[in-house]
């Protein structure tokens, strides 16, 4: 609910209205630290305010929709799928998506193997393709348990992997990021790439979900 | 010795599927890292970001949020690289605090 406060008394608008839409209370130490460091860097000419704004815009533009487009194209075109697995950087670039500076690995889910991605040491994630990772991906619970009891973790996401399907867990690093190529569901034959992309969610590309026809 | 950050395989509770929209200050921290790590500036590398995060003590590590760890690490790296000095940072932090008190932030 929007709680806009209306003043009906006489009100001189000569005082400063603090505009701090992101904050309800006083700044935290780390918020002050961000401001201080950013301002110092701007004063020293190391970055400009405009560059910071543009970097945020670029970040907001990176969303799982980019990954979905890549997956849908791979489902529709076997030659592209082969390239995506063998030369992921080139394949991703071909669709106009930035593969990032790190090594990119694409792992394919099949009837025999299901892949799951984690970063146990921190939060490495194919950000250039999927955007920023969800909170749970960075949580202690996910990072600790995904490598020891992946099936249990996936079942907490509502994904049950049959016993005859192997599970491979990929621990990302600072230099290597993994993207899961989910299995194309049966019943999607003849679908346009756009329609295919609509069922490729972020979680299917991390491996905690399967693509399904809604 | 196993570092506090090195938690792969450790016991832990259920995965809470929390998500939040990143706050503007968090996005600015992310943007600073992106800019500082580009080829032209080269003031922090991913391994340095990690090294400085891993140097945060276990208690602080658990108390801090994700981007709190990042800004802590970025700041430490800028100091280590000599891009900013502790004096400059101390003065700037005091100035930011004063501006906040004066309602100018």
A88 and A119 together in one domain: yes
* Predicted pLDDT at B20: 84
Confirm whether A16 is domain-assigned. no
CATH code given to domain B24-101: 1.10.472.20
pLDDT at residue A12 in the model:
40
pLDDT tens track for B28-50: 999 999 999 999 999 999 889 98
Instruction: Please say if A178 is a catalytic residue.
Output: no
Other residues' Cβ atoms within 10 Å of the Cβ of residue A45: 7
Same domain assignment for residues A46 and A73: no
Task: Decide if A145 is inside a domain.
Answer: yes
What is the model's pLDDT at position B6? 87
Q: Are residues A96 and A123 in the same domain?
A: yes
Is the residue at A10 inside a domain?
no
Question: In chain A, what residues touch B32 (CB-CB under 8 Å)?
Answer: 34, 37-38, 41, 47, 52
| Residue A17 counted as domain residue | no
> Across all residues in chain B, what is the average pLDDT?
93
Query: Tell me, what's the pLDDT at A154?
Result: 97
Residue A55: how many CB atoms within 10 A of its CB?
A: 20
Which tops the pLDDT comparison, B26 or A21? B26
Which helix H or strand E contains B49, and what residues bound it? helix B46-54
Catalytic site residue from A119, A128, A172, A178:
A119
- Give me the pLDDT at residue A23, please: 54
- Which DSSP string do the residues of B86-104 spell out, in sequence order? HHHHHHHHHHHHHHHHTT-
Per-residue model confidence as pLDDT tens digits over A160-203: 999 999 999 999 987 889 999 999 999 999 999 999 999 999 99
Same domain (yes/no): A54, A114: no
Specify whether A36 is located in the same domain as A82. no
Residue range B50-81, pLDDT digits in tens: 899 999 989 999 899 999 999 999 999 999 99
Q: Please give the share of chain B, as a percent, with pLDDT higher than 70.
A: 99
Q: Which of A124, A128, A172, A178 is catalytic?
A: A124
Co-location of A139 and A120 in the same domain: yes
Residues of B in contact with A33 (CB under 8 A): 71-72, 75, 93
pLDDT per residue as tens digits for the range A103-142: 999 999 999 999 999 999 888 899 999 999 999 999 999 9
Q: Name the token pair of B78.
A: 């800028």
Closest partner residue to A35 (CB to CB) among B20, B41, B96 is: B96
Residue B42 to chain A, least CA–CA distance (Å)? 11
Residue A93 is assigned to a structural domain of this protein = yes
Q: State the CATH number of the domain containing residue A71.
A: 3.90.330.10
Give the model confidence (pLDDT) of A3-48 as tens digits: 333 333 334 434 443 344 455 678 999 999 999 999 999 999 999 9
In a domain, A18, yes or no: no
Neighbouring C-alpha atoms within 13 Å toward the C-beta of B15: 25
Q: Residue A2 above 80 pLDDT? A: no
- Give how many domains chain A has, as a whole number: 2
Distance in angstroms (rounded) separating the CA atoms of residues A127 and B46? 13
Please tell me whether residues A76 and A127 are part of one structural domain.
yes
Per-residue confidence (pLDDT) for residue A24, from 0 to 100: 60
Q: What is the arithmetic mean of pLDDT over A58-86?
A: 97
> Is it the case that residue A84 has pLDDT exceeding 90?
yes
Question: Would you say residue B83 has pLDDT above 90?
Answer: yes
Which domain-ending residue is among A11, A39, A60? Answer: A60
Which residues are CB-neighbours of A124 under 8 A, at least 6 positions away? A102, A172, A173, A174, A176, A177
Domain interval for residue A35: 29-60
């Amino acid at each position: 609910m929007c709680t806009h406060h209306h003043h009906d008394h006489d009100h001189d608008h000569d005082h400063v209205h603090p505009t701090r839409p992101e904050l309800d209370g006083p700044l935290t130490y780390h918020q002050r630290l961000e401001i201080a460091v950013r301002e110092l860097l701007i004063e020293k000419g190391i970055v400009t305010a405009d560059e910071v704004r543009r970097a945020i815009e670029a970040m907001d533009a990176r969303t799982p929709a980019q990954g979905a487009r890549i997956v849908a194209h791979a489902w529709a075109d076997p030659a592209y799928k082969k390239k995506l697995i063998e030369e992921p950087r080139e394949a991703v670039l071909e669709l106009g998506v930035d593969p990032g500076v790190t090594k990119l690995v694409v792992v394919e889910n099949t009837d025999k193997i299901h892949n799951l991605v984690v970063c146990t040491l921190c939060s490495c994630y194919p950000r250039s393709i999927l955007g920023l990772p969800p909170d749970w991906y960075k949580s202690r619970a996910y990072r600790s348990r995904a490598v020891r009891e992946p099936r249990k973790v996936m079942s907490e996401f509502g994904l049950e992997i049959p016993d005859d399907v192997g599970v491979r867990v990929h621990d990302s690093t600072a230099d290597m990021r993994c993207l899961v190529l989910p299995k194309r569901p049966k019943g999607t034959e003849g679908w346009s790439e756009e329609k295919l992309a609509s069922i490729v969610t972020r979680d299917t590309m991390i491996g905690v979900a399967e693509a399904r026809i809604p | 010795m196993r570092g506090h950050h090195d938690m792969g395989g450790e016991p832990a509770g259920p995965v809470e599927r929390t998500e939040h929209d990143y706050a503007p200050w968090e996005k600015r921290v992310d943007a600073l890292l992106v800019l500082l790590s580009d080829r032209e500036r080269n003031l922090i590398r991913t391994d340095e970001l990690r090294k400085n995060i891993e140097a945060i003590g276990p208690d602080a590590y658990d108390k801090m949020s994700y981007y709190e760890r990042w800004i802590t690490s970025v700041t430490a790296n800028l100091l280590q690289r000599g891009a900013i000095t502790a004096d400059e940072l101390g003065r700037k932090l005091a100035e930011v605090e004063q501006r906040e008190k004066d309602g100018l932030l």
